[in-house]
Amino acid sequence: MQMRKLGNGGLEVSAIGLGCMGLSFGYGPALDKPAGVALIRSAIERGVTFFDTAEVYGPFTNEELVGEALAPVRDRVVIATKFGFDTNGGARHGLNSRPEHIKRVAEASLKRLRTEFIDLFYQHRVDPQVPIEDVAGAVKELIAEGKVRHFGLSEPGVQTIRRAHAVQPVAAVQSEYSLWWREPEQEVLPALEELGIGFVPFSPLGKGFLTGAISETTTFDSNDFRNVVPRFTPEARKANQALVDRLGDIAARKRATPAQIALAWLLAQKPWIVPIPGTTKLHRLEENIAATGVELTPDDLGEIAGAVSAITVEGARYPEHLQKLVGR
């Protein structure tokens, strides 16, 4: 497995990480714990060292799963988790990034993750009620105490990134980025390059759509988040199939899969980009990891760019109430 660096603070991770949310939450029924542990450990055996979770995935159950799976190999892996929501009573109740809350979350996450430190601690969403300087300052104190190693932000705007970074260096920013959601290219990626901050794309396979395994007739489990995503209405899926078809054509020539082309394209954008595709299936895990071996030439990248620019993706990436939490 190739390795990549996030930020300037010595954080080194595998070029492909594992987004663990879907093992417990968001995409239909959760895996039982033994199956989830087995999948995470299969990823380790195949060279993955970077694992992404959050207290609100479940809530709490995903951190517990990740903690159990990684405890025997803690010294070989990097764990990222997140704070920023109220979880009173085990449910999500709006944003909360007050410094005292951040510190309580850190203590609880350390216990669930069975670790003495969190490698990468992200603010999950920007809280407009708390100055980002106060957030960065709280994480800076946790770093000084040895409970956190690196600071991250999820879905922030550029000014928030700059203000936070001035207080405590930001190692990584996490946002959605893929061949069908390229908004970070406009402002975020140039700022990260300037500041020396790594980028961690979540949903790098378009919440599964770019794999080619989803069509307009696919039905999702009642607990699947995609049921409320405008981009996943049957009409939008039918319109967006053209993008997957073009990816499939390119993949066939490269003797790869559409998912591998989508991941290889991300890896080719910058050496400090580390996608974190999620899956519950071993064969998909192996497919995703193998994307690191797909080399895209300048001509390939030009063809992909031309194919994508010729297609207008239909549907918003979030329902309106969730989009309001992004990019502050």
Catalytic residue positions? Answer: 57
Q: How far is CA 79 from CA 13, 53, 74, 105, 214, in A?
A: 10, 8, 9, 15, 30
Q: Decide: 177 and 145 in contact? Cβ < 8 Å.
A: no
Strand, helix or coil for residue 23: helix
> How far is the C-alpha of 223 from the C-alpha of 48, rounded, in Å?
28
Structure-token pair, residue 262: 């989508």
Structure-token pair, residue 307: 């194919």
Q: Is the dihedral of CA 36, 39, 44, 48 positive or negative?
A: negative
Query: Which residue type occupies 188?
Result: V
DSSP-assigned beta bridge partners for residue 198? 172
DSSP-assigned beta bridge partners for residue 273? 199
Query: Which run of H or E residues covers position 4?
Result: strand 3-6
> How far is the C-alpha of 148 from the C-alpha of 126, rounded, in Å?
19
Residue with tokens 């309001």: 324
Q: Decide: 150 and 13 in contact? Cβ < 8 Å.
A: no
One-character DSSP codes across 71-136:
GGGGGG-EEEEEE-B--GGGS--SB---HHHHHHHHHHHHHHHT-S-EEEEEESS--TTS-HHHHH
3-state secondary structure 28-89: CCCCCHHHHHHHHHHHHHCCCCEEECCCCCCCCHHHHHHHHHHHHHHHHCEEEEEECECCHH
Reported as half-sphere exposure (CB side, CA atoms, 13 A), residue 218 has a value of: 18
